[in-house]
Amino acid sequence: MSGPNRHIGAGVQLSFWARINTSGYMIGPTGATANGSSEGMRQILGIKTANPGPVEPEAVDITGDDTVLGAIDFGPNASPQFTMEVAAFDLDTQSKLQSTLVETLGDVRLSPLQPANPEYVDIMLIIQGKSKSKDTATDGTKSWMGYFIPVASAVPLGRAEFNERTPAADRFKVTVQTASRKPWGVTILDAVLGTTGAPMLAFTSDNPLNMHYLVGNGAITTIVLDRTPVSLAKLVVHRGNGQLLVATTDYTLSGSTITLVAAPTAGQMVEVLYEFSA
């Protein structure tokens, strides 16, 4: 994957969420961890607005002699939080985020909001949109830009308002935590990223991104992705504790199916990051 350095962007679409386990690995929207489990991320259908970003640092002015002697910068003193609005209401997503259930009564579906004793699950998000390269060699070519949010929770807030002839929007309050791992299990290293932790990871790529996971059972060697990757070169596959697999040597691709040369052992995680055509 070789996204541009300098770029311009607009819009938001094809964004996704999934649960993570206690080690920070993506485990799909259902959070299944049994051997043989395999699942992709769930699309945030109809995403309209999301304003993720780092918290501004705090500057303290030092005064004396009736003037400002200087200022001292301090790092942020709060965790990033933002509200996400979506056009498509999704009762299943709402229930999974707060560990509740959806009840069916005939053709009526019920889902609680602001439940008693809620248990908000740990999730990760990919929020992304279209961009254009402004690098000299590729100026004007299409690309994508966005944020990985490795560790967060999202509280369903329900419909923003009921108003005549006004489009409705569902809302989620997202609270972000500082992560020490990327969603595919690789530790954030100072030698690689210049830090050992971050609440968000900005990215660029040639195409939109998605993820899929598999929990090995000692026999399964195929992973069927939700979408078709652009090519074998647009796959990044990790196994176990962040071991990077090599295309062709360790796996092959046919359509949307990855075939692993060696079956992952029981309980071993395989995480796939891939680019797909929008």
| Residue 274 bridge partners (DSSP) | 210, 235
pLDDT of residue 21: 96
DSSP 98: H
Instruction: Give yes or no for residue 188 having a pLDDT over 90.
Output: yes
**Each residue's pLDDT tens digit, 241-267:** 889 999 999 999 999 999 999 999 999
Cα three-residue angle 264-235-152, rounded to 5 degrees? 80
- The Cα 117–Cα 98 span in angstroms is 10
**Each residue's pLDDT tens digit, 198-215:** 999 999 999 999 999 999
- The Cα 210–Cα 274 span in angstroms is 6
Q: What are phi and psi of 275, to 5 degrees?
A: -95, 140
pLDDT band (50, 70, 90) for residue 218:
very high
DSSP class per residue in 113-177: SS-SS--PPPEEEEEEEEEEE-SGGGTT-EEEEEEEEEEEEEEEEEES---TT----EEEEEEE-
pLDDT of residue 2: 75
- 8 Å CB contact between 111 and 3: no
Q: Kindly state the tokens that stand for 222.
A: 């195929």
**Each residue's pLDDT tens digit, 28-86:** 999 999 999 999 999 999 999 999 999 999 999 999 999 999 999 999 999 999 999 99
Q: Kindly state the tokens that stand for 145.
A: 């830009």
- The Cα 118–Cα 103 span in angstroms is 17
- The Cα 62–Cα 69 span in angstroms is 5
CA 130 to chain CA mean position, Å: 16
Instruction: Give yes or no for residue 18 having a pLDDT over 80.
Output: yes
Average pLDDT of the chain to the nearest whole number = 96
Residue type, 41: M
Q: What are phi and psi of 194, to 5 degrees?
A: 75, 15
Q: Which of 151, 256, 150, 148 has the alpha carbon at shortest distance from 208? A: 148
Instruction: Give yes or no for residue 135 having a pLDDT over 70.
Output: yes
Instruction: Give yes or no for residue 1 having a pLDDT over 70.
Output: no
- The Cα 174–Cα 195 span in angstroms is 23
